[in-house]
Chain A
């Protein structure tokens, strides 16, 4: 329910608490887990950008991998081949995917339902094929490595080659992105997106240019997916054509469905749970995907609104019975 008051305080409290824990964590966990958490933050950003287009606007886009891969390559190529600084490269890892999202969206948002899903997959496949074959630019499946120069903002400087520095850097950007998305969803623009999800015919009848707002949502989601890709490459110092594969979008789908679509916090939670699960399972068996798959089927059957939806309905039931 988008116009509820009084929830802000609780949210700020929880958000600040989580942030404090995450700020303190590098002092008690080793470098391996710091890297793991940094990657988790990146996937959280990817998942919430997907939630904007899927959970809030109602468009199941498998094209997010394309924007993720583009963002990743933007950073990698600009730094490796053109010696550009990290600040500008990262900024362009948002801008270039937005421009591509404009192009892809121009053709995609006129389609609805399964047709939209398919055309976004096709665009991602095209991107992947280009990435795979244009090896002089992308390094193909082998990919490209690079060493990012320190990130500078005024007097402020952060060494991304340092794992802890990189951790805080990614955490900061993902936290800001989360707050940005949350605000946008509460904003008048967010209400337009939600109305399109709920009933695009009705939205059109009351005067919203549905295609335009779908395109805007698609571009914002594309930009943030690109930023996730850029941060991923800054973390791993690497990019490959595999990042452009449409199945990368599948990660976001899984996290969003497990956590609860259209909740923002759900996909973040979903990413944390699924990635942790995979991480621990890999010690015992190879087929972690199998377990994740079973968990996904279980969630869809038992809690179609994801974990957050499950918790909300429990709380609601508690309230009405009290």
Chain B
């Protein structure tokens, strides 16, 4: 795994307050290209809020965010998507009335500049090819024509990642992909992620420590909105402070 590589995302002194509550407190974070960084921390530590700040869902209260050396602080989500950051949500967010094929198609065609109203969408051969290769990659080839509300919950989680991947992101933000899955399904998802997301730069917010230890190159621990510790999974597991606030309950 790349250690001291090119830095792709950099957060400098990022703050977010809701009224008087400081949800994210002077966070500095750098993510290298090709790295899988996991964000962990107790409930309410500010993990999802931090993702919301990175992809522009929420405006920051202070600080700066740089992506590929360009400042993206407070850009709107669609512009950040075009800058190259994709996102999945904690609660599955799909085009639920459309088929799997249409879901992927819609994401693939989002990279186009102009949406011609006078041609049939299917005339876009390049979009079609890319859609089909994404279906192959995500393993949905046989299920392409199912309406996605007919998919199993686990499949829906994978499809959402597939949609995010279809926008060809340089950085993928995953918010608790295993939320709502049993341990068996979680392990299946991890396996899928390994094959689907290899080489991809990822920030993974996750509660399941098994999944985190399995996948993460580095871990950042958030506590009350601030970074408490940072390091490889081994280092974090041994960190006394982290044990106390977070891992303690599981490892006691």
A residues with CB within 8 A of B: 1-3, 5, 183-184, 186-192, 194-195, 198-199, 201-210
Contacts and interface: CB of A to CB of B under 8 A. Distances in A.
B121 A184 contact: no
Nearest to B81: A207
B19 to A, nearest CB: 23
A90 B164 CA distance: 45
Given A188-B124, A191-B105, A205 B96 contact: no
Contacts of B163: 202, 206
A202 B95 contact: yes
B77 interface: yes
A188 B121 contact: yes
Interface in B63-107: 76-78, 81-82, 86-87, 89, 93-99, 101-102, 105-107
A189 B117 contact: yes
Contact of A192 (B81, B86, B98, B115): B115
Interface of B: 55, 76-78, 81-82, 86-87, 89, 93-99, 101-102, 105-107, 109-112, 115-122, 124, 127, 145, 147, 163-164, 166-167
Contacts of B166: 206
Nearest to A220: B117
18 contacts: A2-B121, A187-B115, A187-B118, A187-B121, A188-B112, A188-B116, A188-B127, A189-B116, A191-B106, A194-B95, A198-B96, A198-B97, A205-B86, A206-B106, A206-B110, A207-B82, A207-B110, A207-B111
Given A189-B117, A191-B121, 13 more contacts: A3-B122, A187-B115, A187-B120, A188-B117, A191-B115, A198-B96, A199-B96, A201-B93, A205-B77, A205-B81, A206-B166, A207-B110, A207-B111
A82 B111 CA distance: 47
- Quick one: which of A189, A201, A207 has the most chain B CB within 10 A? A207
Contacts of A1: 98-99, 102, 145, 147
A205 B93 contact: yes
Contact of A210 (B78, B120, B124): B78
B117 to A, nearest CB: 4
